[in-house]
A and B are shown apart, each in its own frame.
Chain A
Amino acid sequence: MFKEGLMGLIAGFVTTFKHLFRKPVTEQYPEYKRTLPARSRARIILTRDPDGDERCVACYLCSAVCPVSCISMQSAQRQDGRRYPRWFRINFARCIYCGLCEEACPTLAIQLTSHFETCEHDVLKLVAEKEDLLVNHGGKSHEYNFYRHAGVTMVGDKGTHINEEKPIDLKSNLP
C-alpha cells in the first residue's frame, strides 16, 4: 500500500513536469480571433429582402418576446399598404443575446450575427437606432421574401404566391 501511494505521488509529479514543456493551449484573444460558428449569437441586424426593401413589418413579436425588453419600435404603413417600423431601437446594454427575437420574427428580418465586440465606455452608445441596425443584405437567407409567401394580396393576386393554391371558385361548386 505504501509503495502504491508513493508511485501514485511520483506519477503525479512526473505528469505535471511533462506539462511544463508543452505548448500552452490558450488562444491569445486580441491577436488571434477564432472564426465563430455561423449560428453564434451576438449583435443584432435588420436585413432586407432580395428586392432591397426592408423585411421588418413592425409586427412587435420580437419586442413582445424579448425577456429583457430591449427592443422597441413604432409601426407605420407605406402608401402601398406595406407595414414598416417608423423607428426601431435596440438597447444592446440590456440585450442578453438569447435569440428569441430571431425565432419569433415571421419575416426573417431580425437576425443575430457573430459580431460580439461591442464594448463602449459610454453606455448610451450601446443604444442602436434603425439606421445602425439596417444592413444591405439578406443575412442568413438571401432568397426569402415574406410577401411572396404570405398570400397577402399586396404583392400579386391571390393564388400567385409561392406554395399557394389557386383560390376555389365557390360558385362553381354549386349544385
Chain B
Amino acid sequence: METWVAGLILLVIKLGVVLVVMLLVAAYLVWVERKLIGRLQVRYGPNRAGRFGLFQPLADLIKLATKEDTVPGAADKTIFLLAPAVVGTTAMLLFAVIPFGSSFTLWGKPIPMVITDLNVALLFAIALSSLGVYGVALGGWASNSKYSLLGGIRGAAQMISYELSLGLSLVPVVMLARSFSLVEIINAQARYPFILVQPVSFLIFFVSAVAEIKRIPFDLPEAENELVAGYHTEYSGMRFGLFFLGEYITLIVLGGLVAAFFLGGWRGPFLPPLVWFSLKVIGMVFVMIWMRGTLPRLRYDQLMSLGWKVLIPVALLNIMVTGAVILMMAS
C-alpha cells in the first residue's frame, strides 16, 4: 500500500515537472527558431519584446489567448473544436516513454528518469505519431474550407506514406537492441550509439520524421503560398496556438526519439546524463531549423516518389543487410 502511494506521488511529480518543462521549452523553441531563421536570412528576428525579444513567447501567448476563437459558419463544430487537442495531446503523450536520464537512488529506492518504461514503447511512439494524423485530417475536414480540406488530405496522404518508412527504419534498431523498450534500446547503446552501425537507418528515420511533423521541406499540408495555411487556415486564437504548440512539442519529442534510437539517449562521457540528453535534442532541433532555412518545399509528386520509391525500398534493403550481418556475426 505504502509503495503504491509513493509510486503515485512520484509519478505525478514527474508528470508535472515534465509537462511544465516541455511547455516552457516549446514556447522558447518558437523564439529560438524565429531568431535562428532570422540570422540564417541575415536579419535579426524578434528583438522588441524585452531584451533580445526574450518576452516574445509571453507576448504571443497573450495575443493568442485574447483573440476571438472563431468557428466557420458551416463547420462541423464538435470535430472542429476537438481537432487541435488531438495534435497537442498525442505530441505530449509521446514524451512519456522517452528516457531523459539514468535512474538515481532516492531514500534507498531507484527512481528511473523516464515517466514510464513501457515494454512496447517503440510501438507506442509510432502509434501515437499515427494518431496525430487525425488532428490534421479532421481539422482540415471539419473547417468546411477548400484550403483546409486540401491541407488535411495532403497531411493524411503524406503521413501515411512516411509512417511506413518511419516504422521500417526502426526495425534494424530493434534487431540490434532485441527490445521494444526505449530504456533497453538505450542500454544496448552503452558501448557505441547505433548511428555508427546504422547510418542509413538514421537518415531514413530522420527524413521520415521531418515529413511526419510536416516541416520544411515537407510542409505541404500547410504550404503558405498555395493553401493559405493549409489545415489550420480557419483556426484562430488559442486553438491555432494548440496546433502551433503541438508542432513544436513534436519537434522536441522527435529530437528525443532520434537521440534515444540512434545517438545513445542520455549516454555520453564526462557530462551528466540530463545534459547529454539535452545537448542531443538541441542538436537535432538545430539541424531541423537549419534545414528549414535552407531547403525549398518539395512538389507533391516528388514527396510521394521519395517516400515510396526511395525510402521504403532502401529501408527494406537495410533490414535485409542488417539481418544477414547479425546472422553472420552469430554463427
Residues B287-331 near A (CB distance < 8 A): 290-291, 293-295
Confirm or deny: A17 has a beta carbon within 8 angstroms of a beta carbon on chain B: yes
Please count the residue pairs between chain A and chain B whose beta carbons lie under 8 angstroms apart in the complex. 31
Interface residue tally for chain B (C-beta within 8 Å): 13
Interface string of B77-111 (1 = CB under 8 A from A): 00000000000000000000000000000000000
A23: which B residues are within 8 A, CB to CB? 42
Q: What's the nearest-Cβ distance from chain B to residue A29, in Å?
A: 11
Does the CB pair B42–A19 fall under 8 Å? yes
Residue from the list B43, B293, B295 in contact with A25, Cβ < 8 A? B43
Does the CB pair B43–A13 fall under 8 Å? no
Residues A1-30 near B (CB distance < 8 A): 9, 12-13, 15-17, 19-20, 22-26, 28
B293: which A residues are within 8 A, CB to CB? 16
Interface string of B7-38 (1 = CB under 8 A from A): 00000000000000000000000000000101
Chain B contact residues: helix, strand, loop or mixed: helix
Interface residue tally for chain A (C-beta within 8 Å): 14
Does the CB pair B290–A13 fall under 8 Å? yes
A13: which B residues are within 8 A, CB to CB? 290-291, 294
* Given A12-B294, A12-B295, A13-B290; A19-B43 close (CB under 8 Å): no
Residue from the list A15, A19, A28 in contact with B39, Cβ < 8 A? A19
Q: Which of A20, A25, A28 has its CB near the most chain B CB atoms (within 10 A)?
A: A20
Confirm or deny: B70 has a beta carbon within 8 angstroms of a beta carbon on chain A: no
Further pairs besides A16-B293, A20-B39: 4, Cβ < 8 Å: A12-B295, A17-B290, A24-B44, A25-B42
Interface residues of B, Cβ cutoff 8 Å to A: 36, 38-44, 290-291, 293-295
Can you give 29 A-B contacts (C-beta < 8 A)?
Answer: A9-B295, A12-B294, A12-B295, A13-B290, A13-B291, A13-B294, A15-B294, A16-B40, A16-B290, A16-B293, A16-B294, A17-B290, A19-B39, A19-B40, A19-B41, A20-B36, A20-B39, A20-B40, A22-B42, A23-B42, A24-B38, A24-B39, A24-B42, A24-B43, A24-B44, A25-B43, A26-B43, A26-B44, A28-B44
